[in-house]
Structure 1
Amino acid sequence: MSIRNNHKLSLTQSFEEILEAVQPMITAIFTQLHIYKDFDYYRHIASIAVWRAWLKADPAKGQFSAYLYSSIKGEILNELSKEKNYSERITVVDGETLNFILSDMEGWDNQKNPSLLEIKLSQLKQIEREILLLYYVEGYSDQEIANALGLSAVAIKKRRGRIIQRLKHQLSRVE
């Protein structure tokens, strides 16, 4: 595969030369993977992939440029996958949401470390956070939440109660 100015990539080149030569390849991968933000971060990921490929490459196993391409793309895809998994598991909880939930937690002093509650909320399953958000922030009824999530209203009410009890229990153990 030819890169900028028809230079062939070779293991005899320094890492810096190879990294400079593959910049158009990295840009093409960004375009292909629809990466339109955090360019510096992903260029860093790509640079690490180039470094690892440069260290591990074996000319007997095939063309170096193809190995570089698959290494760079693979590392970026791995990072995108990690970010997607993280964003599916973590929901940022704003102050308004915390206040609504705190107000429903009888016996919990609202002045006690709300950041601790935020940490505990972030550890909940996605559906549990969704139930709390829909109920306390959006003002949905149990029936509306049930319709939205494909569960029964009774199940939503019980689940919400268990979530609140679990949060109270976890927070009381920390005190």
Structure 2
Amino acid sequence: MDEFETLKEQFDPMIRSIMKKLNIYQNKHEFYQTGLIALWEAYQNFDPKKGQFATFAYSYIRGRMLRDMDRQIRNEERNVHPKEEFWEMIQDDDADPLLQANEFLLSLCRDSHLTRQQQKWVEYTCIHMLTVREIAEIEGVSVSAVKRWRSEAKQKLKGTLLAIKD
């Protein structure tokens, strides 16, 4: 049996205990896998000079599960998943309202004279529903750069929308 298998058996009760303390009752298998991945990463990053492994592993696993719970909650808040009956009731009046909304958004970006980076922020945020951090990772820039794109884009879009309103 290799080292990690032994570690997995040893820390399995800890992972399950953390899940119980965090009241994880949905997607248990997924969170258990998250716990195993966190255990592996803790094993890789552990520095024996800084304390005991069990304490380090506990905080590492718990932190990873909390982060994943937070990410899952944000995703659920952003995305609505209606039941099947809802889709049966919808009539197809327009060819594709989402496509029309995206076209309107992109035309608004052009009318507002947004830079390419500002347009990327609008597309990533409004169409792909990504966070500032996720956009920064994709574009290979800092989070503050994406925040600057956002701020400037919002100002320009606000000016264009106010002009349209008048």
Normalized against structure 1, the TM-score is what? 0.50
Give the CA deviation at 1:16.
1.4
Bigger CA radius of gyration: 1
Q: CA RMSD in A?
A: 3.0
Q: Which amino acid aligns with 1:80?
A: M
2:30 is aligned with 1:38: no
Structure 1, unaligned stretches of length 5 or more? Answer: 1-12, 103-109, 125-161, 163-175
Q: Compared with structure 1, are the counterparts of its residues 40 and 65 closer, same or farther at alpha carbon in structure 2 (3 Å cutoff)?
A: same
Whole-Å separation in 1 of the counterparts to 2:24 and 2:102: 30
Structure 2, unaligned stretches of length 5 or more? Answer: 104-125, 128-160, 162-166
Q: Compared with structure 1, are the counterparts of its residues 65 and 114 closer, same or farther at alpha carbon in structure 2 (3 Å cutoff)?
A: same
* Deviation digits for residues 36-83 of structure 1 (CA, Å, limit 9, x no counterpart): 121110111001100100001000000100000001000000000001
Out of 112, 117, 120, which is 2:95 matched to? 112
SS in 2 for 1:22: helix
Question: How many residues get paired?
Answer: 102
* Deviation digits for residues 131-153 of structure 1 (CA, Å, limit 9, x no counterpart): xxxxxxxxxxxxxxxxxxxxxxx
Q: Which amino acid aligns with 1:95?
A: W
Out of 53, 61, 65, which is 1:76 matched to? 65
Greater share of helix:
2
Give the CA deviation at 1:114.
6.6
Q: Compared with structure 1, are the counterparts of its residues 115 and 88 closer, same or farther at alpha carbon in structure 2 (3 Å cutoff)?
A: same
CA contact (8 A) 1:57 1:67 kept: yes
Whole-Å separation in 1 of the counterparts to 2:3 and 2:68: 26
Normalized against structure 2, the TM-score is what? 0.53
